[in-house]
């Protein structure tokens, strides 16, 4: 099963094992981080493959932890689409468990205004056109309050749909073919 590694700028490693829950192997020094840009990625054929590049005006580690734990299920006022935290965390979960990949998180810049620059230089799996994740990942429904309740059935449905979208990604197709 894959792992998640948190890599702060000082390269102190905080290993997180992703199963049905997350275990921190070391205590995170919460004052180390602050505002800036961070990246979720995995390695494939000796290359970093970006999953998501995000920013936080307060604390990048808190933002990334919220994503890893999938804290917010849906946050729009009509609960018609999934929240970014949930989508990022679900993709990380799928990559870690189903594809046995190690996913990494890294604080990459202290200036949160540089998010666009990082995305222009490297496209992530979840972002192809702008700093927001692509709308297809949000699984927007026409029914109001569809994603309001975080039930077992809704989680199962959302994970299945996100996994289906992920499986169509060209990098994921290459990983699948190489692992056969």
Domain ranges within the chain, ordered by starting residue? 3-179
Cα 82 → chain centroid: 13
* Residue appearing with tokens 């993709």: 91
Q: Closest Cα to residue 124, out of 171, 69, 59, 57?
A: 171
What beta strand segments (E) does 103-144 contain? 103-109
pLDDT at 126: 96
At 97, list the tokens: 């468990």
pLDDT at 122: 87
pLDDT at 114: 93
pLDDT at 100: 84
CB under 8 Å to 47, separation ≥6 — which residues? none
What is the helix (H) or strand (E) element at residue 90, kind and residue range? helix 84-97
Tens digits of per-residue pLDDT, 136-159? 999 999 999 999 999 999 999 999
At 159, list the tokens: 């994970």
d(CA 41, CA 119): 13
What is the number of other CB atoms lying within 10 angstroms of the CB of residue 155?
A: 14
pLDDT at 84: 95
pLDDT per residue of the chain (180 residues) written in tens, 0 to 9: 445 555 544 434 444 444 433 444 444 444 456 899 999 988 899 999 999 999 999 888 888 888 988 889 999 999 999 999 999 999 999 998 888 888 888 888 899 999 999 998 888 999 988 899 999 999 999 999 999 999 999 999 999 999 999 999 999 999 999 877
Q: What is the pTM of this model?
A: 0.85
pLDDT at 123: 84
């Amino acid at each position: 099963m894959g792992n998640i590694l948190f890599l702060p700028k000082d390269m102190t490693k905080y290993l997180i094992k992703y199963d049905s829950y997350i275990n921190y192997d070391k205590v995170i020094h919460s004052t180390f981080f602050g505002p800036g840009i961070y990246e979720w990625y995995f390695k494939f054929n000796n290359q970093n493959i970006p999953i998501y590049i995000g920013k936080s005006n307060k604390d990048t580690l808190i933002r990334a932890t919220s994503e890893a734990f999938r804290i917010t299920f849906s946050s729009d006022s009509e609960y018609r689409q999934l929240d970014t935290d949930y989508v990022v965390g679900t993709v990380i979960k799928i990559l870690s468990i189903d594809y046995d990949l190690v996913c990494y998180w890294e604080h990459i810049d202290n200036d949160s205004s540089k998010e666009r620059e990082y995305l222009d230089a490297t496209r992530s799996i979840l972002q192809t056109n702008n700093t927001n994740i692509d709308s297809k990942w949000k699984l927007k429904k026409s029914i109001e309050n569809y994603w309001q309740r975080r039930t077992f059935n809704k989680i199962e449905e959302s994970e299945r749909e996100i996994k289906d979208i992920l499986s169509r990604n060209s990098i994921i197709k290459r990983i699948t073919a190489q692992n056969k």
